[in-house]
Structure 1
Amino acid sequence: MDLETKCIEYIKNISNTKSVFVLDPINQNTEKIKFFKNKNYNPILKYEKKELPKTFFLKIKQLPNNKYPKLSYFILKNILEEINLRNSCTKKEYTKNSIDFYGVPSENLVSHAKKILKKNIPILEEKTITPQNVVCGLNEYLKSRKLTHWVVKTASITAKAITIPTEKTLKINNKLLFSKNDLIRLKVHEIDTHIMRVENSMLQSQILHFAFPNYLSTEEGLALYSEEMNGVLDQKRMAICAGRVLAVNLALNHSFAEVFEALTAYFDDNDAWDITLRVKRGLTDTSMPGGYTKDYIYLNGYFKIKKYVESGGSIKDLYVAKIGINDLSTIKDLKEIKPPKYLPEYLKI
């Protein structure tokens, strides 16, 4: 077995570990009730925690740069760092690990987010579709895309939906009702972007089966761009993404209650709760500053995709695997890159 094959096998063995650590608080519903009775209260969040042995994390510190092929090394290191972040949930180093892994929004992005929020005009969508009916609709859509090996099911999660590639599963929030536009968004966001990029990656050489470091900004930007191309990226959706940027920026120095109060200038209480919970998940005592900084990536990625398209970039090129815009020059050096088999309808025209 050559060195690159050994490295790929090693990556396979540890990559599934990411799904072990779920950052969704297990008591979020009871804490929401407490909070809405007293909006000065800062929720105390609990998690289903699974510890890894300390020896596992020695791999991060001891991973020699020169032992593996360069690309394999960076993918492996990225996976280990994400596992390290998730494993630090509830610990004092959690916020630092999140900043190290995801970064923080720039002043320019925060400024753009505030401009979007000032334009926000609430759009009322009739939400009458049950999670079970959403599951049926998404299963039909998967069938039409010849992706029937994926499973859609309801689950207790913080987000509306989450895609888990290692399980070939799309989970839908079992506590929410959905609008017709929500259903379209789930189809084009979760299936036409996240799932299709996974499936295309599996048709490439083995090293492209894994997400590249810093792929996520491109991934989420593509998902929002797909929503736009399907006519469902409305002002409310843009405002939610902008609100997430503002929330990440505020959470670094403010409590849950303070972030929530700031967001109520732009959102109703339920949306403000959802956005705040997303950025404070991973903490136990949410009166403390800090949190999960990932959520600014959605709007940041969208702007990057728009700039990429305006400069003549091909969206199809980004569908070959779970790569970032900056990885295109890297993968051109790899042998036998296959054109993407799975593409959203707007790219087939």
Structure 2
Amino acid sequence: MKPLNLKKEKDKFFKSNFMYNPQFQYNKTPLPSASAQHSHASNRFLQVAINIIQNTLKKYNNYENYEQATGGNLLPAKQIYQEVRKYMETEGCQGEIAVNLTEDVISQASMGTVKRQPTMTINVSMAREKWLQGTLRHEIGTHYFRTVNNSKQPWHNSKGREEYGLEPANPTEEGLATIHSLLYHPDPDLCRVALLYYTIYKASSMSFSELFEHLKIFVRDPEVRWYYCVRAKRGLTDTSQPGCCNKDQVYLEGVLQILRRRHTIDFKLLMAMGKVSYEDINRLKKTAVLSKPRIPQFLKDRNQYMMRLEKIMQVNELTDTLLKTLVDC
């Protein structure tokens, strides 16, 4: 859902002093509100998103300080390749994944397949020194390993998923990957996924230019605000109209659902079973193929893993009472 004319429309937008509403073009014409399944913005976790953003910005004074302090400097391409190679050696998957560095994407990174070759694409304009290891745990340690494990399962294709009655992989998939990206961070806040959640909700009732202006309450940097607005408005053609793409709300939703049930989820089993929701673990574990699953290093020590989940809870001022109220309603 990346617009074909993103750079051209960005230039127009910035030259208009942020008053112009981009008119995006796509390979396939989207529905007026992005797409039927992605056009509804949820407000279920809106207040907790606001609280996380406000608490983080209070700690760092502003978003720009937060990015620099928690992310560090941007990395040169050579160092990115070195870090990726070292990570794949640690996880025993060297040579399995191609790496593509580019600025021509609207996400920080993604895992996919190009000509049957597993390929990780990294946005070099967002590859910061303190975030890269988290990105690798997100894309390789979670998405790639769960994909490999999923390929062994009887539900490895759409027919199998339907036959076994599987719940959608999201929000569990992205929630788990988001948690893993924060595991070893000294200050594992959820500010970025909370800001995505908030931005998407506001996009549902605002034009692009209105949304851009509104986000100034949290973010001063126009480049960063552009990024969040594009993520929220991708899929729309005429961004002068209210509307959103709600896909990125799954990150925060998935994190909160998993943290709520962190004491009852078997996380190694969740990885080993492939692209399944935590809701399906117990029902399907007797059917799953569990021989030699790919389990990332950070999941080998359960006690350490659980301690790091508690740190995420603490830093983001989340409590079991709050999560019960939010998730179980």
TM-score normalised to structure 1 length:
0.73
Q: Paired residue for 2:177?
A: 223
Deviations, residues 242-264 of structure 1 (Å, cap 9, x unaligned) = 11111111111211111112222
Q: How far off is 1:306 after superposition?
A: 0.7
Q: How far off is 1:233 after superposition?
A: 5.9
* Aligned residue identity for 1:219: E
Of the structure 1 ranges 36-45 and 210-219, higher mean CA displacement relative to structure 2 is found in: 210-219
Deviations, residues 103-150 of structure 1 (Å, cap 9, x unaligned) = 53233x011111111112332243231245323421332233232221
Q: How far off is 1:214 after superposition?
A: 2.1
Q: Paired residue for 1:7?
A: none
Q: How far off is 1:232 after superposition?
A: 5.9
Say yes or no: does 1:304 pair with 2:261: no
Structure 1 contact 40–257 (Cα < 8 Å) conserved: yes
For residue 127 of structure 2, the aligned residue among 173, 178, 181 is: 178
Task: Supply the distance in 2 between the matched residues of 1:314 and 1:252 (Cα, whole angstroms).
Answer: 36
For residue 91 of structure 2, the aligned residue among 132, 145, 163 is: 145
Structure 1 residues 285 and 276, CA gap change in structure 2 (3 angstroms) = same
SS at match of 2:111: strand
Q: How far off is 1:171 after superposition?
A: 0.9
Give 1:224-303 correspondences, 5 Å limit.
Answer: 224-231=178-185, 234-235=188-189, 238-267=190-219, 268-303=221-256
Task: Supply the distance in 2 between the matched residues of 1:232 and 1:287 (Cα, whole angstroms).
Answer: 40
Q: Paired residue for 1:25?
A: 3
Q: Paired residue for 1:118?
A: 54
* C-alpha RMSD of the superposition: 2.3
Q: Paired residue for 1:90?
A: 30
Q: Gapped runs of 5+ residues in structure 2? A: 302-329
For residue 274 of structure 2, the aligned residue among 312, 321, 332 is: 321
Q: How far off is 1:213 after superposition?
A: 4.5
Structure 2 contact 152–289 (Cα < 8 Å) conserved: no
Task: Supply the distance in 2 between the matched residues of 1:181 and 1:202 (Cα, whole angstroms).
Answer: 32
Structure whose residues are more often helix by fraction? 1
Task: Supply the distance in 2 between the matched residues of 1:331 and 1:171 (Cα, whole angstroms).
Answer: 32
Q: How far off is 1:209 after superposition?
A: 5.2
Q: How many residues align?
A: 278
Q: Paired residue for 2:153?
A: 204
Task: Supply the distance in 1 between the matched residues of 2:23 and 2:78 (Cα, whole angstroms).
Answer: 31
Moved over 4 A (4+): 209-213
Deviations, residues 280-333 of structure 1 (Å, cap 9, x unaligned) = 1111111111121111110111111111113x3221121020111112133235
Task: Supply the distance in 1 between the matched residues of 2:187 and 2:194 (Cα, whole angstroms).
Answer: 13
Q: Paired residue for 1:46?
A: 25
Of the structure 1 ranges 212-221 and 248-257, higher mean CA displacement relative to structure 2 is found in: 212-221
* Aligned residue identity for 2:47: S
Q: How far off is 1:204 after superposition?
A: 2.7
Q: How far off is 1:271 after superposition?
A: 1.8
Task: Supply the distance in 2 between the matched residues of 1:33 and 1:139 (Cα, whole angstroms).
Answer: 36
Structure 1 residues 138 and 32, CA gap change in structure 2 (3 angstroms) = same
Q: Paired residue for 1:68?
A: none
Q: How far off is 1:95 after superposition?
A: 4.0
Aligned residues: percent identity? 26
Task: Supply the distance in 2 between the matched residues of 1:264 and 1:163 (Cα, whole angstroms).
Answer: 31
Q: Paired residue for 2:81?
A: 135
Higher relative contact order structure (alpha carbons within 8 Å, sequence separation ≥ 6): 2
* Aligned residue identity for 1:112: V
Say yes or no: does 1:104 pair with 2:41: yes
TM-score normalised to structure 2 length:
0.77
Say yes or no: does 1:157 pair with 2:105: yes
